[in-house]
Structure 1
Amino acid sequence: MCGRFSITTPPEAMRSLFGYVDEPAFPPRYNIAPSQPVPIVIREQDGQGGSRRRFLLVRWGLVPSWAKEMPQSILINARAETIAEKPSFRGAFRHHRALMPADGFYEWKSQGAGPKQPFFIRRRDRKPFAMAAVWDIWMPAGGSELDSCAIVTTEANETLKAVHHRMPVILDEKDWDLWLDPGATEKELLALLRPAPDNLMEAIPVSTRINRVANDDPSLQERALAEAEPERAPRPKKRAEDTRQMGLF
């Protein structure tokens, strides 16, 4: 899965790479977590018979358009193997595909009884990339509409298998237009949902500071080994509830 990622490329450089018409100003983020606003790039009609790419801020955690209420679990990832059939994702897969800009993501590796070792995974050439994503528009009863998204994941390549068995689908730049093309066939789209080449990415061990959502600074991406969490003092035993009238005061 992919549960955290980063975007630190300057906005103008991101705009130039992804070719959207908007001029958003967003700060560098080193620890983006589920339910937070994230940027995606979509394709829309320009009103003159053509189309253009647009920048859109959405909630990370898909809420399908047909949902009657907010799902209890956050749908942050959509498995490539079942995305065309799963009710939560198939509509978005057919009609609302997007590029999710990133310059790295995080995964955690189990280490026996010790703390999990987090890894920052980036391109070897340090360039930003696009993760395949789907998005949807939800209109709750009596509320304003919510745009939300999920990252498409696939099995890990040989480079990342030692860390985690899943990874985001990282689209080759030559395939961005096809992924966004409303006329693309299901067969064409599913063919794009494959692991990245083994030599594209590298995994850097980083500090367990990444575990805290409040931590959001460049040091999170520095090489470090996992450190044990400090022991917390035991909580005091809870007193039995006093049911007498005076026990309420």
Structure 2
Amino acid sequence: MCGRFALAVPRRLVAEALGVPDLPDVPPRPEIYPSQLIEAVFTARESGRRMAGLFRWGFVPVFLADSAKSRPMINARGETALTLPSFRAAVRYRRCLVPASGYFEWRGDAGGRKTRFFLSIPGRPVLALGALYERAVTAAGEVKDTVAILTRPAVGAAASVHDRMPLIVPSAAMADWLDPLRSAPADVAPLLALEPPPGLVASAGPGQPTQLVL
């Protein structure tokens, strides 16, 4: 899964990595939690322009916008996103990218203790996490812009920490990922199976000695 991540790099690096000139004015954050406002880059369907906005981390489907029992979902499994009612429209028409310096994950040992790792790619200051966004309007007129980060089976160093990892979109696939016209299930399915860029490492925390290497 992906329950916390970091984005603590200069804004120009985020803009360059995701190809968007105008970014929300958000300070660097060494640790970002669910329910917080996070940045996401998407393509406006009407203009075809790549844009960035702020979304609440915790996806709320349109049909649950007025439900008091709805539980915001921070992650969506890539393997089932095309079939689950909560995500199947968003994964076809409302894909986005969440910029991150890296993400945090915990590994438990036989004694029940957990070690926290920070996973990142040295020399790549910004990772693009594949995500889905939704805009739901309640009966009272409240607008809820929310987002979920997609996950996939973990590989390499990530698999040594946890069995799931965020879907990290390589630079070469960003245009296809953000293309709202690429919406047929047969065209979306390969995007959900993208392999992460090479070089992912896991360390005890940002700037700590590397322990695991992909």
Q: Fold match, TM over 0.5?
A: yes
Amino acid at match of 1:167: M
CA contact (8 A) 2:90 2:133 kept: yes
1:75 equivalent in structure 2? 73
Aligned length: 207
Matched, 1:30 2:30: yes
1:11 equivalent in structure 2? 11
Q: Aligned-pair distance for 1:187?
A: 2.0
How far does the alpha carbon of each residue in 1:92-136 deviate from its partner, in whole angstroms, 9 at most, with x for none? 112211011111000000012242101000013242110110000
1:244 equivalent in structure 2? none
Amino acid at match of 1:87: P
Equivalent runs, 1:148-163 vs 2, <5 Å: 148-163=146-161
Alignment RMSD, CA only? 1.9
Alignment counterpart, residue 110 of structure 2, candidates 106, 109, 112: 112
2:212 equivalent in structure 1? none
CA contact (8 A) 1:121 1:203 kept: yes
Q: Percent identity?
A: 35
Distance between the aligned counterparts of 1:198 and 1:44, measured in 2?
Answer: 26
How far does the alpha carbon of each residue in 1:58-109 deviate from its partner, in whole angstroms, 9 at most, with x for none? 0000001121325543301100110001111111112211011111000000
1:193 equivalent in structure 2? 192
Distance between the aligned counterparts of 2:80 and 2:203, measured in 1?
Answer: 30
Distance between the aligned counterparts of 2:92 and 2:86, measured in 1?
Answer: 12
2:202 equivalent in structure 1? 203
1:210 equivalent in structure 2? none
Q: How has the CA–CA distance of structure 1 residues 110 and 150 changed in structure 2, closer, same or farther, with 3 Å as cutoff?
A: same
Q: Which TM-score applies when normalising by structure 2?
A: 0.89
SS at match of 1:13: helix
Higher relative contact order (CA 8 A, sep 6+): 2
Q: Which runs of 5+ in 1 are unaligned?
A: 207-220, 225-249
Amino acid at match of 2:84: K
* Max Rg structure: 1
Q: How has the CA–CA distance of structure 1 residues 70 and 91 changed in structure 2, closer, same or farther, with 3 Å as cutoff?
A: farther
Q: Aligned-pair distance for 1:16?
A: 2.5
